Amino acid sequence: MGSLTVLPVIKNLTKKILGAIGFEIRKVTAVPRGSFKGVLTNLKQNGIQPTTIIDVGAAFGSWSLQCAQTFPEVEYLLIEPLVEYQPALQRAVSAIQNANFLTCGISKEKGECTIYVHPDLVGSSFKEEHEPLTQQASIPRTILCKTIDTVCEEKRFQAPILLKLDIQGSELDAIDGAEKTLPHVAALIMEVSFLECVKGAPLIAEIIQAMREKGFVPYDLFGIHYRPLDQALAQVDIVFVPTSSPLLAVKWYAQEHQRAQMNKKFIEQLKKESVWNH
């Protein structure tokens, strides 16, 4: 039996074995639409081309590094309040064409703020935890906070701006300190919670309403996270755009040729259903 004949046999056998244990083989697309990369690619393909990208809650800088793959010739500012991340941020900005980082918190007012530093750093927040052991293990630290408006005035950033907020339940506080900046924001990516995992954190309904009052509406989402406690939906990253965004201008669901293809597929399915039902 030749190698070309053997390959389909092996493929089918592998699919059957994986299927028996609950797995399946799928063709992987170059850029999955629901991924972070897919969301950024879609924004770019539909005309969103920021001049400035501000990454609030930068941590290791991985978000900006991924973003730079889609928007390389852009000015980046990575903002992170914890000094422990500085070595990683230095490496990240060195890998991006035009980037800097700033060590401070972001809130609705300038001044000193208290942040609860977690042992793993990642969950550190301006808000206290509901989990007693986690809160007990967190160390309060006084840091300098600035507003987004202050940072943008100091840096004299050029519009349009892509703004990202991931600050553990304090995103709306940051928005309240961005009144002058928001009119220049083409897209805003925010981590949004379905569950109040930190005390007083606004949930998705409140955030969408607050953003609507600021003139922004949801456009896309990605990064779905389930909490390990019970696999309940915990967080998702939502892309907000201004209500005046050109991304929202077209009301059609599909182009004529796309609609024709969908109709053909639906008709074929109806015919199959008719056969099955008789």
d(CA 42, CA 87): 32
In whole angstroms, what is the distance from residue 107 CA to residue 170 CA? 8
Q: When comparing pLDDT for 21 and 119, which is higher?
A: 119
- Complete domains list, the chain, with CATH: 31-272 (3.40.50.150)
Q: Could you report the per-residue pLDDT of 38-96, keeping only the tens digit for each? A: 999 999 999 999 999 999 999 999 999 999 999 999 999 999 999 999 999 999 999 99
CA distance 1 to 43: 50
Query: String of b and e for 21-57 (b: at least 16 CB within 10 Å)?
Result: eeeeeeeeeeeeeeebbbbbbbbeeeebebbbbbbbb
Q: Higher-confidence residue: 134 or 114?
A: 114
Give the pLDDT confidence of 150-178 residue by residue, as tens digits.
999 999 999 999 999 999 899 999 999 99
CB atoms within 10 A of CB 111: 10
**CA proximity to 141, closest of 123, 126, 131:** 126
Closest CA to 208 of 234, 239, 177: 239
- Give the global pTM: 0.85
Closest C-alpha to 131, from 83, 60, 85, 195: 195
d(CA 35, CA 20): 28
Distance in Å from the first CA to the final CA of the chain: 43
Closest CA to 41 of 28, 32, 53, 54: 32
Helices 86-95 & 62-70, crossing angle to 10 degrees? Answer: 10
Higher-confidence residue: 20 or 133? 133
